């Protein structure tokens, strides 16, 4: 197992990102733009990243997320890039 230091990057007012080592991404066979699942284990304070399943689980998660957002989120200001 290889350990590298990475910085947390502010992506927007509502999210952050961490880059993944190219060597690790290549070894996993992941490609640019591929969907992944991210799980946060609150008990152990760990984040797990998995390749999204081909059977549509990721699509299901996205739909559920959008449904929750419509009910709970306030309108967000339009970002200027």
**In this structure, is residue 15 part of a structural domain?**
yes
**In this structure, is residue 80 part of a structural domain?**
no
Predicted structure pTM score: 0.54
Q: Which of 55, 7, 54, 49 is nearest to 28 (CA)?
A: 49
**In this structure, is residue 76 part of a structural domain?**
no
CA distances from 58 to 43, 48, 55 (A): 23, 15, 8
DSSP string, 3-62: ------EE-SSS-EE----HHHHHHHT--TT--EEEEEETTTTEEEEEEPPTTTHHHHHH
Q: How many residues does the chain have?
A: 81
Residues 22-68: tens digit of each pLDDT: 998 999 899 998 988 889 999 999 988 888 876 555 555 555 555 55
Count the domains in the chain: 1
**In this structure, is residue 29 part of a structural domain?**
yes
Which residue range forms the structural domain that includes residue 14? 9-71
């Amino acid at each position: 197992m290889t350990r590298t230091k990475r910085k947390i990057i502010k992506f927007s007012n509502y999210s952050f990102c961490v880059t993944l080592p190219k060597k690790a991404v290549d070894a996993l066979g992941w490609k640019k733009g591929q969907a992944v699942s991210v799980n946060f284990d609150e008990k152990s304070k760990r984040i797990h990243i998995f390749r999204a399943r081909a059977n549509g689980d990721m699509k299901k998660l996205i739909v559920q997320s959008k449904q929750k957002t419509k009910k709970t989120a306030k309108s967000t200001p339009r970002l200027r890039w």
